[in-house]
Amino acid sequence: NAGVMQNPRHLVRRRGQEARLRCSPMKGHSHVYWYRQLPEEGLKFMVYLQKENIIDESGMPKERFSAEFPKEGPSILRIQQVVRGDSAAYFCASSPPGVQTLHFGNGTRLTVT
């Protein structure tokens, strides 16, 4: 049973470009969470999604950031017009329905040059 898969592991973008981060949850998990970790800091909650629904996006910046979890395929975190301050590690976690135990992927490290 594969764990949570995130890709790419490393992503380099120039300022103004778009970044697309993918997350495939564990088999049987229908809940996905995205977190951001700045250097030397803890994880900050961004968004919580179920299939085709955004449940809680209170941690998402109001502009340039969006997330989706379609009926088929991985969850996508999209950052438009990236800026240097977006450089961070972005972690995805999944959990099965009704059970709040998080299983994390290895993260995507975004570097904006």
Partner 1 sequence: KQEVTQIPAALSVPEGENLVLNCSFTDSAIYNLQWFRQDPGKGLTSLLLIQSSQREQTSGRLNASLDKSSGRSTLYIAASQPGDSATYLCAVTRGTGGFKTIFGAGTRLFVKA
Please, which contacts does 55-60 make with residues 24 or more away whose CB atoms are closer than 8 Å?
Answer: 55/31
Q: How far is the CB of 23 from partner 1 (least distance, A)?
A: 12
Q: Which residues contact 42 (CB under 8 A, 6 or more apart)?
A: none
Beta strands 10-13; 108-112: pairing state: parallel
Task: Specify the residue, 15 or 27, whose C-beta has the smaller distance to partner 1.
Answer: 27
Residue 69 sits in the site that holds partner 1 (CB under 8 A): no
52 touching partner 1, by CB under 8 A: no
Binding-site ranges for partner 1 (CB under 8 A): 31, 33, 35, 41-45, 48, 55-56, 58, 91, 93, 95, 100-107, 109
